[in-house]
Amino acid sequence: MKKTTTAVVAALAAVALGSAALATMDIQKEYKAKDPKASCATCHVAKMPKKDAAELNDFGKTVKAAKGKDGKVDWSKVKVPEAKS
């Protein structure tokens, strides 16, 4: 019974967090089309940022500034950093 309750709570939490982060995942997917090596650390200071402590680096701030009211990013306003070899 305890395992079932834990599984249900975990599934509900995943759905809630996933729906709240949809815009972020869409933006990441758009950028991954431009740079397949992109990860969370591309825009965030932390390698795996927490939802409440997702501090942005300079590139992340640029992307946020280019994000319109509709939630879409105007990539023409974002200077994509050069790929590091």
Chain position carrying tokens 């599934």 = 11
Domain ranges of the chain: 25-85
Mean pLDDT computed over 17-38: 72
Integer Cα distance of 35 and 52 in angstroms: 26
Among 6-10, 30-34, 38-42, 69-73, which is the least confidently predicted range? Answer: 6-10
Please give the model's pTM, rounded to 2 decimal places.
0.62
Chain position carrying tokens 């992340």 = 60
* pLDDT at site 13: 56
| b/e sequence 48-67, b meaning 16+ C-beta within 10 Å | ebeeeeeeeeebbebbeebe
Residue 74 or 6, more confident: 74
* pLDDT at site 28: 85
